[in-house]
Structure 1
């Protein structure tokens, strides 16, 4: 082993250790590696940064935008509503329809985004039918992972593997080359989960009536008698000053969640921050969490008077003031902070008034509650602020809106246009008339032209952390090739199983990728293992396509633990699953997917 290879492997080991520890976050690890790899002398800085010019990076970004267009126009939400209408009360029928819907949507959208969309849908179905949500959520995560096996653009690892093929002078995969494998795997998974769901927790939810209303959340989070409307009198010392002059500070004892202001012809509810200027005649919407808060003293000191409020917790202002439940994902900046400390929520003008962790609901003492992955927050603020946050799925995902927010899809009339853009992009990719990245960019431009999405929302829709992760891991592939690390790994695997035939080598490659995927993200797994797979094919004198395909399939088979994939992490808390639940259900499924892949891949893509 050369000194250069040893240095690269040490850096790779450090990156894996940081991935496992979860500190720092994934994109920061990638940037650290971009800085450190040129220090080995194996690469120069231009080569370390070359990933930013990779067409696949642009393609992934464009697909995020197209997926957001489907969400903003209500296409994604419409699928969930269709399930509620047609699923009935049959657990098996709901499971089948849900897994099919997630598999189909995940074929063209981020699987994490699709699962985040479906978590509140599952909760709603569970409440309506009395079926345990825990028996439906894991099937949703399984279908989300398998959706990555359906099309070329279904998941980032597919594009990474395809890019590696093209860098080696191969033609790359066609758009639907994965589908003959993904469809049987999805059918197998549906049949398996119809049986395996009985091994999952089966606590039944309380009876309900479908999508919750604002009143339902007021009851669930015990928000009664917490809402006050305070009018600012002309002689108030607050007039002309910022909202910080109220002196409420960062405490959650009392917080202004919105402000009503009368304009010439209409009244408007505005989102607020500490810098919001107060005018005479403004009405402050105040949430008072603590029973010890002295509201009378506040009114006397600042010349405010209390106005009547008829609905429970601002429900009589439901046209302007809304609520939403949102889930904290794995890489959220909110993890470890409190709601009061969140710059994100302050920026959007939203307030945390409730927290649900597992099955326990908290509505008091939130200033001391440190947020965790999978927590569900109840947010209150103007509908406009909720709509803006809904388009920013980086730190909070899976926004569940109440009945009153059903019509809040920003561009519902543009749904046919969004579907047209998606179909056009798929058609162009299938036909080969345009390169994939050009077809995707054309779809993004048409989404903007048809006003399915605007530029600001498009930029927010791109998951920059995922792109940085890919860019940061790509130099490892080049460095390992130059130092002989790829050939060393391929030779080692061939020495172990090479005498047992190509199918055994393919199976071993799948197992190795799955094991690596337990501790590092599946995108990084694909970046590292795709060159090894192609080296194996070269050493065997075989076609590279089945070997590349096995890496892509293994990257989408992270069923085994709640940390194998962000998809699993999202459902683990919502479904109250233990680590053992994932192993118990995931290990047999991963084994079956392995056997089916070894059977189908060499048949469809002869080595």
Structure 2
């Protein structure tokens, strides 16, 4: 063992210890690694910094942008709504649906990308259901890793092993050769996480909130008792007029909003004063017009669902403001203030002395301390809170955390993701190029702007991955990997095939703790196939075990980018992965050693 190898192993051991104790932060440890490796003389500075140019780092950065585009258009939240609705109040049901969804999507595209896309979905579900993110992020990462065991193209290590088989003169694996093993492991993984999730802890108490919601605000201001929906008929004199000019009668306040259904865009609610009324639109009013008035305006009364405003919470916002003592609004009415024209928001109600002002609030004079409930696009709500100096803003309702400022661009976001998936599945371009194309498409279609794109990238995650990648080269340069491979063959070369399969799995999994699973597959695939040749056995079970072990990166947060992505949002420590990942990896080991020889005879 050379002195350089000893230095690298000592540095590796120190790094693992720092990860384990959680001091300093993992991204800071990665910076220390970047500084220390060139000092050992094993790698040059350019070689150490090469991790920042690694395609996986660029891929993850692009996928953060893609995920932000899906969040800004509300796609991720709608997916979260679907999962929550299907699961109901059952946390186990939610976990099962989440893991199945992630595994299914990860079977045809990058598992790293799938996890990056699902992180905002999971955070949204946790916020709305009151669950701790700790209970959901670990199932998310485990399902992402297990998705790599479902198809040949699901993860890079599978393709590496398949390519090595072909290089050595054998037929490669089929598209679904790994699927039977993956399905069994996925089923066991779901059952395992349902039993073991209690060890993840629960930090809901630390993140609890007493913030208002749309529902409580609507009840306090008695908005639901006045709200009505009316479809605009073909003969309505309102057609062609803007909302700001659509005064239905002298006694009525302004229209609260306009619902419109568009092809591919679904139904949206607009509060903008310049919105022009069209035939078939639905007007949302804050009082009930008389039958004569409805006939004159050709309005058809529609039902109002109980959670009407909540259903549009990602398109239209609400906020409470207080009339200040020196406000110009004192002594003036809502109608005189012309909120829609001046501030681009609509007043839904007024509270005076702790009580709702009633249906005639538009004509009542405002007093200091009165609170107003206003509605409008979230951009207008934020601008009103910042610029309206006559009113003091109160806390935004909790729905403000799930704003979808580009909801009408959702079809374009989905188109961008679909193009990315097709490119990844077909292999027409490398995965990193496919992700960059999707990110550029989202910019072209105005799904996301540059400031939002830069803010969406989680730089500590990229720094951690880039800082750890040089270890693979350092171990290879110093002969550490070859030393481990020789020890494996000399120790188990004369043993039975089952024991060698187990040893291959353990060796692959252990190496994967320190280097990427793709690099691990590159190193272990030829060893596995050569071992099969020495035993006079089929190479396929040996190659399959390497594929399964390379995807079994459950044991540490740095074993795979999939794990690294969920550390921060899940508030996990190094020991959380060890506590749950090691037992499950042992379970996958047992399944692999028993099942692989049955389906792929030696």
TM-score relative to the length of structure 2 = 0.57
Query: How many Å apart are 1:437 and its aligned residue?
Result: 2.1
Give the Cα separation in 2 of the matches to 1:95 and 1:16.
30
For residues 199 and 183 of structure 1, do their structure 2 counterparts lie closer, same or farther at Cα, with a shift above 3 Å needed?
same
Residue 146 (structure 1) aligns with: 143
Query: How many Å apart are 1:599 and its aligned residue?
Result: 5.2
For residues 266 and 203 of structure 1, do their structure 2 counterparts lie closer, same or farther at Cα, with a shift above 3 Å needed?
closer
For residues 160 and 86 of structure 1, do their structure 2 counterparts lie closer, same or farther at Cα, with a shift above 3 Å needed?
closer
Describe the SS at the equivalent of 1:549.
helix
Asked if 1:4 is matched to 2:4, the reply is yes
Asked if 1:432 is matched to 2:427, the reply is yes
Describe the SS at the equivalent of 2:420.
helix
Give the stretch that moved more between structures: 495-504 or 40-49: 495-504
Give the Cα separation in 1 of the matches to 2:142 and 2:67.
17
For residues 76 and 496 of structure 1, do their structure 2 counterparts lie closer, same or farther at Cα, with a shift above 3 Å needed?
farther
Asked if 1:402 is matched to 2:398, the reply is yes
Asked if 1:462 is matched to 2:457, the reply is yes
For structure 1, the 5+ residue unaligned runs are 128-132, 206-210, 220-225, 235-261, 270-305, 324-348, 350-379, 384-400
Asked if 1:213 is matched to 2:213, the reply is yes
Asked if 1:114 is matched to 2:121, the reply is no
Residue 240 (structure 1) aligns with: none
Deviations 1:237-256, CA, capped at 9 Å, x for gaps: xxxxxxxxxxxxxxxxxxxx
Query: How many Å apart are 1:72 and its aligned residue?
Result: 1.9
Give the Cα separation in 1 of the matches to 2:467 and 2:199.
40
Asked if 1:411 is matched to 2:472, the reply is no
Give the Cα separation in 2 of the matches to 1:98 and 1:193.
12
Describe the SS at the equivalent of 1:266.
helix
CA RMSD of aligned residues (A): 5.5
- Residue correspondence of structure 1 range 117-516 to structure 2 within 5 A: 117-122=121-126, 124-125=128-129, 133=131, 138=135, 141-151=138-148, 181-192=181-192, 213=213, 230=324, 266-267=342-343, 307-310=368-371, 402-403=398-399, 408-501=403-496, 503-508=498-503, 510-511=505-506
For structure 2, the 5+ residue unaligned runs are 206-210, 220-319, 329-337, 346-366, 387-392, 534-538
Residue 338 (structure 1) aligns with: none
Give the Cα separation in 1 of the matches to 2:563 and 2:91.
26
For residues 187 and 381 of structure 1, do their structure 2 counterparts lie closer, same or farther at Cα, with a shift above 3 Å needed?
farther
Deviations 1:415-459, CA, capped at 9 Å, x for gaps: 222222222212112222222222222111112112222222222
Give the stretch that moved more between structures: 193-202 or 534-543: 193-202
Residue 235 (structure 2) aligns with: none
Describe the SS at the equivalent of 1:451.
coil
Give the stretch that moved more between structures: 477-486 or 450-459: 450-459
Residue 245 (structure 1) aligns with: none
Deviations 1:281-319, CA, capped at 9 Å, x for gaps: xxxxxxxxxxxxxxxxxxxxxxxxx931336xxx66897
Give the stretch that moved more between structures: 447-456 or 502-511: 502-511
For residues 516 and 19 of structure 1, do their structure 2 counterparts lie closer, same or farther at Cα, with a shift above 3 Å needed?
farther
- The alignment covers a number of residue pairs equal to 443
Query: How many Å apart are 1:515 and its aligned residue?
Result: 6.8
For residues 84 and 161 of structure 1, do their structure 2 counterparts lie closer, same or farther at Cα, with a shift above 3 Å needed?
closer
For residues 495 and 61 of structure 1, do their structure 2 counterparts lie closer, same or farther at Cα, with a shift above 3 Å needed?
same
Query: How many Å apart are 1:460 and its aligned residue?
Result: 2.3
Contact map agreement 1:230 1:307 (CA 8 A) in 2: yes
For residues 512 and 151 of structure 1, do their structure 2 counterparts lie closer, same or farther at Cα, with a shift above 3 Å needed?
closer
Give the Cα separation in 1 of the matches to 2:576 and 2:464.
29
TM-score relative to the length of structure 1 = 0.57
- Residue correspondence of structure 1 range 542-561 to structure 2 within 5 A: 546=544, 548-556=546-554
Computing the radius of gyration from Cα coordinates, the structure with the larger value is 2
